[in-house]
Structure 1
Amino acid sequence: MKYTSLPLVVILFLSFTVIAQDKTFTLEEIWGGAFRTEGFESLHSMNNGTQYSVLERDNLSGNTSIEVYDYASGEKNRSIISTSFIADLNSFQGYEFSADEKRILLSSELEQIYRHSTRGIYHIFDIPSNSSFKISEKKIEAPLLSPDGNKVAYVQDNNLFMLNFLTGEEIQLTSDGKKNEIINGVTDWVYEEEFAFVRAFDWSADSNKIAFLKFNEKEVPEFSIDVFGNQLYPNQEVFKYPKAGEQNSTVSLHIADIVSMASDQVKLGDYKDFYIPRIEWTADPNKLSVQVLNRHQNNLDLIFVDATTKMASVVLNEKDEAYIDITDNLTFLEDNSFIWTSEKDGYNHIYHYKENGELISQITSGTWEVTDYYGYDTKNKMIFYQSVENGNMNRDIYSISLDGKNKKRLSQQEGTNDAEFSADFSLFINYFSNATTPYKFTLHNSTTGELVREIKNNQALLDKLKTYAVLAKEFSTIEVNGEVLNTWMIKPKDFDPAKQYPLFMFQYSGPGSQMVKNSWNTANDYWYMMLAQQGYIVACVDGRGTGYKGAKFKKVTQNDLGNLEVQDQITAAKQLGALPYVDASRIGIWGWSYGGFMSSNCLFKAPDTFKMAIAVAPVTSWRFYDTIYTERYLKTPQENAKGYDDNSPINFVDGLQGKYLLVHGSADDNVHVQNTMRLIEALVQKNKEFDWAIYPDKNHGIYGGNTRLHLYNKMTNFIKTNL
């Protein structure tokens, strides 16, 4: 076995723990927000490139405002709006400027629909006249200002509307919208969850046309959730949810011409069973880009539609043996050439294409991944991006010219660096953290990367943590099944290598994920420190199928989810168990969602390795999960029944020998509680002992009130009793 520590992180770990004291973390503090970091809320770079705006709240009065600050000095320049001066608006939760920054869209009374979608009350604030008005008395979805700032389009009751501020005219662009049948302008459940795509319409550059998608979900099977509430009888939420192999919504593309008041459907081609995961107008107001993806998600066409003739032509085709990830990285330049990211050389990189789809150049290259695309500076012809060039557990910010030359690393500190660029790309705010440094916000020159000033840090949190027994992560690598895998470990404060400690493992393991990264603590990390304070070693290993090591490493689990990933966790547990300071008879594992699917399989398939497992909101059979996610990795059950059944925990309950805790929220719209109920039935029929908990009316996140505190108390007690 090879287990190699990374010297720099260990040094940081040692130096940090020297000043740490003995105060222990409590679940009440962790889930009460005692260790939250400070940051910015709704930061927007102003068009002048020298100022930015943020949303601020007055804790005493409850008023919210938009304040403008100078980048260079940090001084407040002005207050644009405050709810203390708006009669019918007590507060707002978000804002969006028009392109000319003369009008602001304000959101309030937001209510969550699903993971990404909300509906709420929206106001328009007109800066020149210092006046505001409400768009609709009813709650609306996904409003979007037109490029000229004179109109807004939005969805209400599954129909698309447009309001003209200059004339006061409201136009209903569709009339066939109906719950669980027809959706116009926003996506259905599965698109939203798996393509992270809610607003399914876009304005043309001249503000005269709106392209939108229509979802016909009449034939999609329904799923129902009982919502128990506090009334005598529960309510039932019924929505369309296509499980693997079942019927998807039929999606169609339409273009509404606001000037001629006409709306036409666009025929994209001879596609039989397909997705439209993105639409976006190009720099040309008569040319729309549409991405069409086959059901297997391994063949993607980028199509340009002529808005005048409604003719569609494929300008770029991407194929992959496994699948193609959908991103928002498509950028159109002034000449309508475009920037695109692709894994076609085995790693995610940036490419530049002519308007007709002819490749101009591959801009970035190497055995590393581009992890974020920030944008293109038209004046200096520079691209800004984030990558893992400095190690796949880190993130750095880079600039590179459009011709692929003059690459420069703009971030200096090792860890996780993210960026928010000014409108003219002359400056950027660096969001930095690592395993021992909470978020720091610093302003930098975009040409040189040089520090301009520090904006905000979390020194107060660091000072607070000096009184606690902070136990930082030790980052390492471990050789497992022929691969070098990233791992971290947290050891007890008074760690003695001559003693043996129980080992508690955490993982997620889903395709493209990453749990081992050099960034600041999540709430779970404080929980792990609390467990370590009580004598446990906590470890995490990112196995095969996880991300940021290239397409081959990520896609090796294709058509066989839960096989290689489980092998890696079992092998890693055995190798870690062979360390002299680990008690191999006391190894546990836990995970949430995909991680719960994994922890269940590990316990059932390796009873000689794992003493206990916790599974929260687990998928227990991929037959129960949605089309887009599941078929991306497994194809359909009709095509690949073996891939679905050979690794379903339901089929391996006979192997349960250790202690098992199974947890789910009854109103989980994502991973349905059906998964847990079917697994429970299988366990009962095999007469297996286990513990379980159902949280009423809680979704996939299982939160609200004291719910998280209760859940983590339950899990902590289960660990202390059984490990």
Structure 2
Amino acid sequence: MFAILERMRSRHVVLPALVLSVVSTLQASEQLDRYLHQIFDTKDLQAKAFGPARWIDQGAAYTTLEAKEIARYDTATGARTVLIAAAALTPPKASEPLSVDDYHWSDDAKQLLIFTNTKKVWRNNTRGDYWILNRTTGALKKLGGAVPEASLMFAHFSPDGTRVAYVRANNIYVEDVKSGKVRALTTDGSATTINGTSDWVYEEELALRDCLRWSPDGKFVAYWQFDSTGVQQFTLIDNTSELYPKTTLIPYPKTGTKNSAVKVGVVAAAGGATRWMKIPGDPRDNYLFRMEWGGNSDELVIGQLNRLQNHLSVYLANRTSGKANIFFEDKDEAWVDVRVGGFEWVDNGKQLLWVSERDGWRHAYLAPRSGGAPTLMTNAAMDIEGVAGFDPAGKWVYYTASPGNATQNYLYRSDMAARITPANQPGSHSYNISPDGKWAFHTWSSFDKTPTIDLVSLPDHKSVRGLQDNAELQKNAAPLLNSKAEFLHVTLADGTVMDGYLIHPPNFDPAKKYPLIVHVYGEPAATTVVDRWGGRNETFHRALAADGYLIASLDNRGTPAPKGRAWRKSVYGSVGDLSSKDQAEALRKLIAERSYVDSSRIGIWGWSGGGTNTLNAMFRTPELYQVGVSVAPVPDQRLYDTIYQERYMGLPAVNEDGYKKGSAINFAAGLRGKLLVVHGSGDDNVHFQGTERLVNKLIELGKPFDFMEYPNRSHSISEGKGTSLHIYQLISRYFEEHLAPGGR
């Protein structure tokens, strides 16, 4: 039985055939505890956002939600008018306006689609209520008719604004705005047949949630259909909500098992039979990761990946016949990365904007509809980090990149040699560019600078007006920013250069030796060493530094840093193995070069993939790390999902040795130090099952360790009052007890 165990200081509970150390109740230092309360129990250190904002009139104006009303701003002059007053957002017989979570305008901006009363579906709030406000008549109307509240998903205006398409209970509906008449476009939706939205693994790994598209002429709706029949189900058990356990079944394809069968079809908005697109290949062993109308109402453009995700095919499919022809392909010996943007029709539908690593760097290309050779739009030996927008007048691609410094990013334009972001703004930048390419909402932050948002003109990048300065956050964070933070490079024996950062304690004395805590992720999904404001994780690390710790993070090979294809793809087939070797070698180098690092007081912690690499560190190189905190890890790669794990490791039946070498559980015998493993029992993403297997393995090996279960919490371990504060207090206490802070 896995209960929430508490350690009596310096003691262990010993049971027959079971040695489990228990979680400390030692209080963190008073200062650290105050910081933790400020970070996780107040909004003092939370950045304020801008919006939600929407461009209208092709960028000549924008709207934003302010308090309980929606304001319009002239982009050039800043002139403000209240477009939608709070009273207009108040339903009949209600005393308060709707709480607007999101909103969208019809193409003519005469109607407003409001998303409210939202509920989370796995990762995001995608289910809720939709209302329409007619600006001309003032009528405010709820969509869906007599259906349960918070049951609609992904509502979209038709191009002419007369109808709205949405998903309910895995079926697609179209509602006439004026009459309220609702027509079902699909009727076969069920627990295993999903229309207009996606299954779990497509949502998690391909970011595909909204799976319906109006045709440009408004006569048709294209959509994905998922058939999860035969996909094995994983059971989540909720032991706390009711008298007896509740179970939730999720079709979840683990490595090497059967996926959903996925297809794309088109149905008339007036109703009728669906025409299915004839995409070649087994629908369970290929992924249809993108679909859009092909710049007209006669063709669809559909992106397909094979099961190994190393061969991409882009098809043009005829709406009437369903016949599909390839007009663009991309291949890679490792995997084709489809997560970095692109896949947009430009130049009046004549060319498809695509991002590829085919020449060794991540570049933007324009692929002609005719099927000819693609045109390279972003030259030079550097990666683009993402496509920010397209200027239709000049046919320029705006993109972000950072040649020479993988921890930062700046705005560039394809026809300009120099970057657009000013040289006096070091750090990280993101842009929401207007449809006409003349303006952008610009967000800038750095490791020590909280996010600021302003409106800039393009391409001169002139700041027109401030939109959010987060001055209060900068002031509140000032005490935590007193400690020195530096970015550094660590060169490995083979010449590989890893980026890192190091945060020093306040009043740092280089003549003393300090404990070091390494924050690790190390998987292909994310980097940790980025020159931008890091939110709660960063302020948590600053709080630990203020308690007397050095805090470091290092990005190993295989992380998605903008360092070229070879850097990112070097990990193929060896996730977990290569990362742990890189992390250990870099740490040894750091200890050798920094005399103030106390090699007898080294800790490591991470979440998800970082939790996995914490286990790798504690098991594979126990001579280096004395203390580890592993949160929500994947101890055995075979237990994770098909799309993610097979992308980087191949099929388990083919790469059996790689899966074995990459899975931390197979090295558990090496544990020597203090290890705390934390997991939420309701984790739908990284299943509690893996941690249970790890616990059994450690028991079998006679290894003492500490363990904490958060009942019914998901992968984020954030649900329930006080949960976030509690887990970070737990992590802090564990390090304070086993890795004494301060210089010696």
Give the TM-score taking structure 2 as reference length. 0.90
Q: CA deviation at 1:676?
A: 0.5
Q: CA deviation at 1:142?
A: 1.6
Query: What is the distance in 2 between the residues matched to 1:37 and 1:266?
Result: 45
Alignment match, 1:5: none
- 2:50·2:467 contact (CA, 8 Å) conserved in 1? no
Q: CA deviation at 1:465?
A: 3.4
Alignment match, 1:112: 120
Q: Does 1:400 align with 2:400?
A: no
- 2:328·2:371 contact (CA, 8 Å) conserved in 1? yes
Alignment match, 1:223: 234
Alignment match, 2:596: 581
> Which runs of 5 or more residues in structure 1 are unaligned?
1-21, 58-63
The change in CA–CA distance for 1:332 and 1:658 in structure 2 (over 3 A counts) is: same
Q: Does 1:76 align with 2:80?
A: yes
Query: What is the distance in 2 between the residues matched to 1:481 and 1:229?
Result: 52
Query: What is the distance in 2 between the residues matched to 1:609 and 1:567?
Result: 12
1:270-309 alignment, distance < 5 Å: 270-271=281-282, 273-309=285-321
2:736 aligned partner, one-letter code:
K
Q: CA deviation at 1:623?
A: 0.7
Alignment match, 2:200: 189
Alignment match, 2:180: 168
Q: CA deviation at 1:642?
A: 1.0
Query: What is the distance in 2 between the residues matched to 1:422 and 1:493?
Result: 44
Query: What is the distance in 2 between the residues matched to 1:517 and 1:169?
Result: 51
Q: CA deviation at 1:576?
A: 2.1
1:666-685 alignment, distance < 5 Å: 666-685=681-700
Query: What is the distance in 1 between the residues matched to 2:234 and 2:165?
Result: 30
- 1:157·1:178 contact (CA, 8 Å) conserved in 2? yes
The change in CA–CA distance for 1:407 and 1:331 in structure 2 (over 3 A counts) is: farther
Q: CA deviation at 1:81?
A: 4.4
> Which runs of 5 or more residues in structure 2 are unaligned?
1-29, 740-744
Deviations 1:45-78 (A, max 9, x none): 1125232111223xxxxxx322222334444222
Query: What is the distance in 1 between the residues matched to 2:79 and 2:477?
Result: 30
Q: Does 1:365 align with 2:379?
A: yes
1:56 aligned partner, one-letter code:
E
1:446 aligned partner, one-letter code:
L
The change in CA–CA distance for 1:469 and 1:347 in structure 2 (over 3 A counts) is: closer
- 2:480·2:546 contact (CA, 8 Å) conserved in 1? no
Alignment match, 2:519: 506
1:378 to 392, 398, 415: 392
Query: What is the distance in 1 between the residues matched to 2:493 and 2:578?
Result: 9
SS in 2 for 1:371: strand
The change in CA–CA distance for 1:147 and 1:81 in structure 2 (over 3 A counts) is: farther
1:345 aligned partner, one-letter code:
D
Alignment match, 1:27: 36
1:535 aligned partner, one-letter code:
G
Deviations 1:246-282 (A, max 9, x none): 0100112211022573322221124462110111002
Query: What is the distance in 1 between the residues matched to 2:693 and 2:417?
Result: 57
Query: What is the distance in 2 between the residues matched to 1:611 and 1:422?
Result: 51
Greater than 4 Å deviation, 4+ residue runs:
22-25, 405-408
1:590 to 605, 610, 633: 605
Q: CA deviation at 1:390?
A: 5.5
1:5-20 alignment, distance < 5 Å: none
Q: Does 1:528 align with 2:544?
A: no
Query: What is the distance in 1 between the residues matched to 2:680 and 2:455?
Result: 42
Alignment match, 1:449: 461
Alignment match, 2:48: 38
1:326-365 alignment, distance < 5 Å: 326-327=338-339, 328-333=341-346, 334-365=348-379
Query: What is the distance in 2 between the residues matched to 1:153 and 1:436?
Result: 45
Query: What is the distance in 2 between the residues matched to 1:174 and 1:504?
Result: 54
Alignment match, 1:246: 257
The change in CA–CA distance for 1:90 and 1:270 in structure 2 (over 3 A counts) is: closer
Q: CA deviation at 1:79?
A: 2.9
Query: What is the distance in 2 between the residues matched to 1:416 and 1:639?
Result: 40
SS in 1 for 2:482: coil
Deviations 1:551-579 (A, max 9, x none): 11011110111111000111122222222
2:367 aligned partner, one-letter code:
Y
Query: What is the distance in 1 between the residues matched to 2:294 and 2:187?
Result: 28
Q: CA RMSD in A?
A: 1.9
The change in CA–CA distance for 1:513 and 1:521 in structure 2 (over 3 A counts) is: closer
1:112-131 alignment, distance < 5 Å: 112-116=120-124, 118-131=126-139
1:690 to 691, 705, 726: 705
Higher deviation after alignment, 573-582 or 195-204:
573-582
2:556 aligned partner, one-letter code:
G
1:562-577 alignment, distance < 5 Å: 562-577=576-591
Q: CA deviation at 1:343?
A: 1.1
Q: Does 1:644 align with 2:652?
A: no
Query: What is the distance in 1 between the residues matched to 2:558 and 2:288?
Result: 26
Alignment match, 1:312: 324
1:519 to 516, 532, 547: 532
1:93 aligned partner, one-letter code:
D
Q: CA deviation at 1:135?
A: 1.0
Give the TM-score taking structure 1 as reference length. 0.93
Q: Does 1:55 align with 2:55?
A: no
Query: Would you say how many aligned residue pairs link Structure 1 and Structure 2?
Result: 692
- 1:74·1:455 contact (CA, 8 Å) conserved in 2? no
Q: Does 1:257 align with 2:268?
A: yes
Q: CA deviation at 1:512?
A: 4.8
The change in CA–CA distance for 1:408 and 1:28 in structure 2 (over 3 A counts) is: closer
* Identity percentage of aligned residues: 32
Q: CA deviation at 1:693?
A: 0.3
